[in-house]
Amino acid sequence: MNPFSVVKRVSLKNILKGILLGLSRPLFIFPTLKATKDCMKVSTSLYGKLHHKNGPANAFRHALWNCLIAQRCFRWGKNKDIVLDWVKKVTDWHEQAFPNKPLAKAMDLHNNEVGRFIFERNPEKTEEEIISILQKMTSESIKIEEGADLSEFKNQLVHILAP
């Protein structure tokens, strides 16, 4: 992926917000970027291009992304609350900076939260163990439609498109 093509899609306001966010926790920038890159690699290896659509593979990717960022930053931060706050802020920023349709955005935010929940409950697990947990959850992901109350699916992955 070309970083310049990504930056062209983001408004100046959101670029500035991202810079300020990074400056708030500079030690978390590189672990976050590495986690993002590794998440994409794992998702592609397991699901091919399906993780770019709004199906179960996309739910997996969002949850894994949040888990990996949390795990990697936790090595530096050692404070679960600070790390989880960072992960929420950075992934919420991403959803704001790269707008999506309302249902897709709600799905992404929900699956991001599930990923943070999995990390919070399993900080000692290896990345391989987390991937295994999330793969099982992906196979049980729930299809949602417009108007769905996502609070009914707390701690469960959700998707829009059938696999």
Phi, psi of 95 (to 5 degrees): -65, -30
Count: domains in the chain = 1
Phi, psi of 98 (to 5 degrees): -120, 80
User: Would you state the pLDDT for residue 63?
Assistant: 98
Residue 113 burial class via C-beta count within 10 angstroms: exposed 0-12, middle 13-18, buried 19 and up: buried
User: Would you state the pLDDT for residue 3?
Assistant: 59
Long-range contact pairs involving 131-140 (C-beta distance under 8 Å, separation at least 24): 131/42, 131/46, 131/64, 134/60, 134/63, 134/64, 134/67, 135/46, 135/60, 137/60, 137/63, 138/56, 138/57, 138/59, 138/60, 139/56
Calculate the dihedral angle through the C-alpha atoms of 10, 98, 44, 40, rounding to the nearest 10 degrees: 70
Burial 49-76 (b: 16+ CB within 10 A, else e): ebbeebbbbbbbbbbbbbbbbbbbbbee
Q: Which residues pair with 158 in a beta bridge?
A: 142
User: Would you state the pLDDT for residue 99?
Assistant: 86
The alpha-carbon radius of gyration of the chain (Å, integer) is: 15
User: Would you state the pLDDT for residue 4?
Assistant: 62
Kindly report the pTM of this predicted structure.
Answer: 0.93
The domain in which residue 124 lies consists of 3-159
User: Would you state the pLDDT for residue 163?
Assistant: 67
**pLDDT digits 0-9 by tens, 68-84:** 999 999 998 889 999 99
CA pair distance 3, 127, nearest whole angstrom: 26
What tokens were used for 47? Answer: 């699901």
| Residues of the chain scoring pLDDT < 50 | none
Residue 64 is which amino acid?
A: L
